[in-house]
Chain A
Amino acid sequence: MTCTEFLQILDDVLDESIAVETRTEIEAHLRKCGHCEVVLNTTRKTIEIFQCHEIYEVPTEVSERLHVKIMERCKKVK
């Protein structure tokens, strides 16, 4: 497996949707290619960081204000 071939299936590797036979090839490639190993690990970490940290939070007062508005309008529509 070449680095280009590895990159082409990187998403599947990250999403763990890889066939068993390809997995062996990937593992062999990663053992000899430090760059691809770094790309895999840091991309995995990238996704994890964005999943675990909320960048945009709704402040409670905004949320409550919107609730009141939404509910008022819903009752009218009803």
Chain B
Amino acid sequence: MSTIQPVAGQDEQHPDVALVAQVRAGDVAAYDTLVRKYERQIFRIAQHITQNREDAEDVMQDAFLKAYEKLNQFQGNSKFYTWLVRIAVNESLMRLRKRRTGKLVSMDEDVQTDEGSVPRDFADWAPNPEQNYTQSELAEILKKTIQGLPQGFRVVFVLRDVEGLSTEETAETLGLSVPAVKSRLLRARLQLRERLTRYFGRKAPAIAQAAAAPGGDGAEA
């Protein structure tokens, strides 16, 4: 497996470098610091891929244990976080494979769709449209919206836009080319925008209305 590009500005050492060195020297408490620092991100990524709470918990635990066991294989020229994310993504895919016994699970699943390539709904949004919903309503909307994306798009969007990996790191983590990541990211962003317009668009603000709409067809241009 090739290595991830060195982090820019290596002159200023990333705080994780020192923590990793401490762990390698036998300091388990330093590892606890790393776990606390990244557990939320790893849990979210696992939940986005497996779409299952129990699996996400297991993945989180297994990913951190595996990272600890394999720490000697970690190369200092990549970020610890990116390396950890790669382990978590692989663990999540393995977990999915177990659930869907016999069914192939890959990052290429369902990406051969043209949906979202071209925007159809041009209704503008109200300023701060999320304020029209309670926190739990908004969480439901966002969950439903992102769960509806093909997995190959969803994971790219989550790593790149939500968890802050660069395009190159996302490509490296998922074993995709940079152009493939860019193409999926654009389509993920456009599909999410289109779906959120059903809730946030000035012409169709109500959840009930959006739920009753036949797949959002016939958008007024």
Contact = CB atoms under 8 A, between A and B. Distances in A.
Interface string A52-78: 011111100011001101110111011
A70 B125 CA distance: 45
A73 B205 CA distance: 50
Interface residues of B, number: 47
Contacts of B157: 50
B108 interface: no
User: DSSP majority for the B interface?
Assistant: helix
Main secondary structure of the interface of A (DSSP, over half): helix
Contacts of A57: 40
Interface size class on chain A is 35 or more
Contacts, number: 105
A51 interface: yes
Interface stretch (B43-51, B82-90, B91-99, B206-214): B43-51
B61 A66 contact: yes
Contacts of B200: 42, 45
Interface of B: 26, 28, 31-32, 35-36, 39-40, 43-44, 47-48, 56-57, 60-61, 64-65, 68-69, 118-119, 122-125, 129-130, 138-139, 142-143, 146, 157, 161-162, 182, 185-186, 189-190, 192-193, 196-197, 200, 221
13 contacts: A7-B119, A34-B122, A39-B190, A46-B193, A51-B162, A56-B44, A63-B39, A67-B32, A70-B64, A71-B32, A73-B68, A75-B28, A77-B65
